[in-house]
Amino acid sequence: MICALASAVCFGTATVLQAAATRAAEPSTGAGAGSGVDAALLLRAVRQWRYVVGLALDGLGFVFQIVALRSVPIYAVGAALAASLAVTAVVAARVLKVRLSGTEWGAVAVVCAGLAMLALSAGAEGDDAGPASLRWWLLGVAAAVLAAGALGGRLPGRARALVLGLGAGCGFGAVEVAVRLIDDPFDLTNPALYALLLGGGAAFLLLTSALSRGSVTTATAGMVIGETIGPAVVGVAWLGDQSRAGLGWLTIAGFAVAVAGALALARFGEAPGTAPAPVREGQGQG
């Protein structure tokens, strides 16, 4: 759980840096403005130091995530990752001087309470391998994430943000499950390895596009749902994840409380305070 929380801290801090860089890299005019998924946007964003530092934090967070996923149930790690929104909110309040409402501070406290409940009730990770077909289904989900990006780019407004965010969440969820299904990272015959690479890459592309256009609150809410509920169900149903004896009710309550608190903080899926001030043409980057 300590590693899961460390991962949330890394991801939450990276969100503030990456979203600010993504906004600055978004073209105000031209073919790339306002489109759905824009791969060139990612290339423009990585030229900025904030995005690069964010990527480094993402890499460190992923290492913590792997350790956590090999030690505690997927549902506990997923809830902790959703709690990265609480980290983003707190970092934004301190670093970007964003004013949090009393309700939002309450949501941060709710997330912490939910995680504490999970820490008390979560058992060890399951040791079941799941059915052999699970790895192929996981690869199919990762490929569907790419299809969701193509579809989302053609949808209007809020529907586009929801599809991109939900697709990104499913991609990150596929990564969570894939980590549990990979015993040898050099086994090139394991479909879970390709699901991890494809799902993670596609999810990152969709999330980058979702952060820069449309309703960020809607996109982030979709991402939280996609990366928590599905993987949690897979872990319990097929991989043997359980709670401590007699504390199943506390596990369910903690998971629900943590995810609900994260959804209440969904607007912090982007760097707070950057959206109201659009980047003007000719304004410096970096």
What is the per-residue pLDDT across 65-120, written as a single tens digit (0 to 9) for each? Answer: 999 998 899 999 999 989 888 998 888 787 667 788 899 999 999 999 999 999 99
- What is the pLDDT, as a whole number, of residue 273? 52
Q: Could you please report the per-residue DSSP string of the chain? A: -HHHHHHHHHHHHHHHHHHHHHHHHS-SSSTTTT-S--HHHHHHHTTSHHHHHHHHHHHHHHHHHHHHHTTS-HHHHHHHHHTHHHHHHHHHHHHS-PPPPHHHHHHHHHHHHHHHHHHHHB-PPP-----THHHHHHHHHHHHHHHHHHHHTTS-HHHHHHHHHHHHHHHHHHHHHHHHH-S-TT-TT-HHHHHHHHHHHHHHHHHHHHHHSS-HHHHHHHHHHHHHHHHHHHHHHHS---BSTT-HHHHHHHHHHHHHHHHHTGGGGS-TTSTTSPPPTT----
- Mean pLDDT over all residues of the chain? 82
Q: Between 14 and 208, name the one with better pLDDT.
A: 14
pTM of the model: 0.80
